[in-house]
Structures are given as C-alpha cells and as structure tokens.
C-alpha cells in the first residue's frame, strides 16, 4: 500500500503519495483546506471558482499550489458536472483545455509534466495510471458518477484509445466521505441495488443507510482487471477530518484537489 505523507509548505498542508513515484513514475498530491487566502466559509485553500468565493483569492490559492508542488505552467482541470464524460488532454487540444475547461469529470493524458486536477468536497477523487503506457487520469466521482460507473468507463477509455492493459494499471483513492458518514436515501440505495445488487457497500443503522463509495469505486477497478495490490486508498473521511472541505458537513464551502503529474 502506498501511504500518504502529510507535508507542509509554510502554513499550507498537503498529502503526498511519494511511493507512487517510486512504483509507478507519477507524482500524486491531495491538497487540504489549510494555508490559503480564502475567507470563511471557504477558508482557506479553496481551489474552486464556482462556489462563490472571491475570484482573486482562488487565483492566489491556485498559484500557491503550483509553487508548492513546483509545477511549471498551467494546471489542467475541468468543469465538473457529476457526469461520466471523459476528456483526453493532448498537444492538439491543450490550449483549448487551458482556456476553456471542458464539461467532464475525468481527464486523461500522456503528456509529461502536465499537471491534471479534479476538485471535491466529499466526492471520490481518483488517480489512475498505466506504468507501461505512461498514462495518467484523474477522476471526480460522487454517487452520481459512481452509479454511471465512471471509473470503469475511464479504464475502458484508456484501453480503447491508448492500448492500456489493466494488469499494468494502478488506482489511488484520495480523501472522500466514507461509509461512517455518508447516509443516503432509499432512492439512491435502490439505484445502487439495481446496478450492483446487495453487498457490503452499504450498511443500515437506526433506519438510515450508509454508502461505502470507495468500495464501489474499487469494485469497478477490480472488475476491469486492475490487481488488488495496485489499488491504494487514503482511508481518510473528509466529513470526519477537519483538514478537508466537506459539503455534507458545511454545505457552503470550498474544494480541495487531487493532482497527478506524469514524470519526465
């Protein structure tokens, strides 16, 4: 298991999966909410422009993240829609993606030293890589994306468009809301039962149902052929851990990030 290490950059805190570099040749970072410029309720390292925060503060926060991770140039990201849409970042479209973030929830690239990012505040933030084909992807997957099997679709996309083999791939699950805190309604539960049947991905407690989102994401990866030893998990609950933004906990809040970079 590739463990996360807490790192500090001045007053900012982030998590680094450094073993992913050793094992798979990629850099994987998860930002926290600590050490930015945003005021309450977005305090303070909010990286999202769409939540109502001061735009200059968000720009300062994004610049701080670039400096923090020694990232040269632009961090490529998306206009997330809780969809299963996938965008491939390449030389031919990188200027378009830079200037107008596409509507999608997964970003795939084989470009070296081109940081890709997805944002969340409870939703699953997933990094995928193929160590043989030298390819990475970042995925935003809340319950809607998970029900649409976005992780499985990204793996299919990587196979069909880049000739990836799941046995050469790895997945990292970043901080997200966990089963201890993710209570859902009957309608959402029924949707997952129709897709995945019954199983350990939900529990009932005092007439409330609690969803295990990471378990469902892992299931998609395993069913597509990623080996269990190449599936890594932060085991961090964003609702429980005050270092991270949580929409369930606060409603009006900022967004932290998963960032992946393919090494040269």
The mean pLDDT value for 157-173 works out to: 97
Residue 156, SS3?
Answer: helix
pTM (2 d.p.): 0.95
- As a dihedral over the C-alpha atoms of residue 60, residue 66, residue 68, residue 71, rounded to 10 degrees, the angle is -170
- Say if residue 195's pLDDT is above 90: no
Region class of 142: left (phi > 0), else alpha (psi between -120 and 50), else beta = beta
Residues 16 and 172: their CA atoms lie apart, in Å, by: 12
- Say if residue 70's pLDDT is above 90: no
One-letter-per-residue 3-state SS of 54-81: CHHHHHHHHHHHHHHCCCCCCCECCECC
What contacts 159, CB < 8 A, 6 or more positions away?
A: 165, 166
Comparing CA positions, the residue from 227, 79, 201 lying closest to residue 147 is 201
- Say if residue 1's pLDDT is above 80: no
One-letter-per-residue 3-state SS of 147-211: HCCHHHHHHHHHHHHHCCCHHHEEEEECCECCCCCCEECHHHHHHHHHHHCCCCCEEEECCEEEE
Lowest mean pLDDT among 22-36, 128-142, 167-181, 185-199: 185-199
Residues 24 and 157: their CA atoms lie apart, in Å, by: 20
* pLDDT cut 70: percent of the chain above it: 99
Quote the mean pLDDT of the chain.
94
Query: Any alpha helices (H) in 52-177, and if so which ranges?
Result: 55-68, 94-99, 143-147, 150-162
Residues 73 and 6: their CA atoms lie apart, in Å, by: 25
Beta strand pairing call for 256-262 and 26-31: antiparallel
Q: Are 249 and 189 in contact (CB under 8 A)?
A: no
Beta strand pairing call for 256-262 and 116-120: antiparallel
Domains in the chain, CATH or no CATH each? 5-262 (3.60.140.10)
């Amino acid at each position: 298991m590739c463990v996360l290490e807490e790192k500090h950059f001045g007053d900012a805190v982030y998590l680094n999966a450094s073993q992913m570099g050793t094992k798979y040749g990629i850099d994987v970072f998860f930002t926290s909410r600590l050490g930015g410029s945003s005021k309450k309720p977005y305090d303070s390292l909010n990286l999202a422009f769409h939540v109502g925060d001061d735009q200059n503060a968000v720009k300062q926060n994004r610049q701080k993240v670039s400096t923090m991770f020694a990232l040269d140039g632009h961090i490529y990201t998306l206009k997330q829609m809780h969809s299963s849409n996938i965008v491939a970042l390449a030389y031919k479209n990188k200027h378009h993606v830079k200037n107008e973030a596409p509507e999608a929830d997964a970003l795939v690239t084989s470009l070296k030293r081109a940081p890709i990012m997805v944002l969340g505040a409870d939703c699953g933030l997933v990094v995928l890589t193929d160590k043989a084909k030298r390819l990475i992807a970042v995925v935003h997957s809340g319950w809607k994306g998970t029900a649409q099997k976005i992780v499985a679709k990204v793996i299919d996309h990587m196979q069909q468009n880049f000739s990836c083999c799941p046995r050469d791939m790895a997945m990292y699950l970043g901080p997200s809301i966990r089963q201890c805190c993710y209570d859902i309604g009957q309608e959402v539960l029924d949707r997952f039962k129709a897709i995945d049947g019954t199983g350990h991905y939900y529990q009932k407690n005092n007439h409330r149902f609690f969803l295990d989102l990471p378990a469902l994401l892992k299931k998609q990866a395993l069913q597509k052929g990623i080996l269990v030893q190449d599936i890594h998990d932060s085991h961090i609950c964003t609702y429980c851990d005050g270092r991270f933004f949580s929409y369930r906990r606060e409603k009006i809040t900022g967004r932290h990030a998963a960032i992946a970079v393919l090494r040269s």
